[in-house]
Amino acid sequence: MNPIDLFESLIIPNCEPRVAMSKYDLLKETFLGNLTEQIPISLWKHHPEKDRTPEGLAKAEIDFHKILDHDLLKISFFGHFPCIDFGCTAVYDGAITGSTTLTSAAINDVSDWETLEPLDVNSGELGKQIRAVELIQEYAHGVVPTMATVFDSAMVADKISDKNFNRYADEHPEELKGALDIITDVMIDFARATLDAGADGIFLASQQSTMSSVTDKVYKEFVYPYDLKMISRLRGKTKFLVLHLHAREENEEIRFDRIAKTPGVDGINWEDQSSALSLKEGKKRFKGAVLGGIDHNGVFRTGSPEEAEKQVVDTIEKSGPERLIIAPGCVITIDTPQENLFAVRDMIRSIDSYDYG
């Protein structure tokens, strides 16, 4: 059966969800590996300019969820949120991702790494994000599970040094390691503070987990040990932890197996529609849930609602509905047609997972 025929055979009149369980139970069962009648869907994007104040970000995230009623609300702080308190500046310059651009770096010379100090995550820019979580939870508590976005240490270090992480790892390894220790503790404190503020889970993002981003030596020495520390320190406090492995290039190879075997990771999200690793293959190599299926830079953004639906149905047919959360591989672009979001959401809500059995 081709994807379109399959989709049409599974349509339920009026696109009403047939699952009686709450979004919380739906998510819990999916992470546990239990097939439920409905496949969860999560949609997320940046909210440029609005996201620079706690009130603005909270209203934007709440409004976005009220419109779409998706099953997992990822709180997307602005793109350089961990960098400002370390001494960086950033602005939104119109990027379709909705993310910000660095305008001044905190690290411009090796000696600058030694000036980094621990941060009070409840004040400054980090404190604003925690306040946003509190405001969002006033709406989301009991309505929809939330997960706060946290960057891993290597990603923060790369951003505050104006993308010179690899150079410092190669030329000044001890200075970088000292800084990574500080950054790791700050990001753990921040993640815990978001959980204290009411977030249900953590979305831990990494941009240094692909073969093209760092060498095996750098990954094993400067990336994975710090990711492991964050995961081990957070897994007892959070209800669930999702890891995002960012792939910058088409058909990029992700270092998947090591992180897939790490205790405490409940879900993994990556650009499955454009990187070398499919959702089907990822599910074979990881026992938790996978988040993906939406080609956020492809037909979801530029195609028709029917094309967006077809692409997601095809992914579900290939990967199977169990341990699956339909989601974008990264942030949905701000120019994505709203009708495509509605179409994919309604299509997911109209599918009975058991019909794939």
Question: What integer pLDDT is reported at residue 357 of this predicted model?
Answer: 55
pLDDT in tens, 91-106: 999 999 999 999 999 9
Q: Pick the closest to residue 352 from 66, 2, 42, 13 (CA basis).
A: 13
CA quadruple 270, 272, 273, 279: dihedral sign? negative
User: Residues 344, 348, 349, CA angle at the centre, nearest 5°?
Assistant: 115
Domains of the chain: 3-356 (3.20.20.210)
| Rounded distance between C-alpha atoms, residue 225 and residue 248, angstroms | 22
Task: Tell me if the pTM is above 0.85.
Answer: yes
Question: What integer pLDDT is reported at residue 17 of this predicted model?
Answer: 44
Please report, as a single letter, which amino acid is at residue 318. Answer: K
Considering only residues 5 and 322, tell me which one the structure prediction assigns the higher pLDDT. 322
Question: What integer pLDDT is reported at residue 11 of this predicted model?
Answer: 35
Do the Cβ atoms of 341 and 307 come closer than 8 Å? Answer: no
- CB crowding 132-153: b at 16 or more within 10 Å, else e: bbebbbebbeebbbbbbbbbbb
Residue 198 has pLDDT above 90, yes or no: yes
pLDDT in tens, 293-314: 999 999 999 999 999 999 999 9
166: CB partners within 8 A, 6+ apart: 214, 218
Residue 7 has pLDDT above 50, yes or no: no
Residue 118 has pLDDT above 60, yes or no: yes
Overall average pLDDT of the 134-155 stretch: 98
pLDDT in tens, 250-293: 888 999 999 999 999 999 999 999 989 999 999 999 999 999 99
H-type helices in the chain, by residue range?
3-9, 23-32, 54-68, 124-140, 153-160, 165-171, 173-196, 216-218, 224-234, 257-260, 279-285, 299-302, 305-319, 338-349
- CB crowding 4-16: b at 16 or more within 10 Å, else e: eebbeebeeeeee
Question: What integer pLDDT is reported at residue 295 of this predicted model?
Answer: 93
Please report, as a single letter, which amino acid is at residue 171. Answer: E
| Rounded distance between C-alpha atoms, residue 163 and residue 154, angstroms | 10
Question: What integer pLDDT is reported at residue 161 of this predicted model?
Answer: 98
Looking at every residue in the chain, the average pLDDT score rounds to 93
Overall average pLDDT of the 57-65 stretch: 98
Residue 9 has pLDDT above 60, yes or no: no
CA quadruple 47, 50, 51, 57: dihedral sign? negative
Do the Cβ atoms of 25 and 340 come closer than 8 Å? Answer: no
Question: What integer pLDDT is reported at residue 325 of this predicted model?
Answer: 98
Residue located via tokens 């440029």: 48
Question: What integer pLDDT is reported at residue 356 of this predicted model?
Answer: 72
Instruction: Give the distance from CA 196 to its chain's centroid.
Output: 20
Contacts 24+ apart (CB under 8 A), 352-355: 352/10, 352/12, 352/18, 352/37, 352/38, 353/35, 353/36, 353/37, 353/38, 353/39, 353/321, 353/322, 354/35, 354/37, 355/9, 355/10
Residue 37 has pLDDT above 50, yes or no: yes
Question: What integer pLDDT is reported at residue 352 of this predicted model?
Answer: 87
Question: What integer pLDDT is reported at residue 250 of this predicted model?
Answer: 80
Residue located via tokens 């390691």: 177
Give the rounded percent of residues in the chain with a pLDDT score beyond 70: 94
Residue 16 has pLDDT above 80, yes or no: no
**Whole-Å CA distances, 37 to 18, 28, 154, 166, 318:** 7, 13, 39, 46, 18
Name the band, by pLDDT with cuts 50, 70 and 90, for residue 20: low
Residue 136 has pLDDT above 70, yes or no: yes
Name the band, by pLDDT with cuts 50, 70 and 90, for residue 210: very high
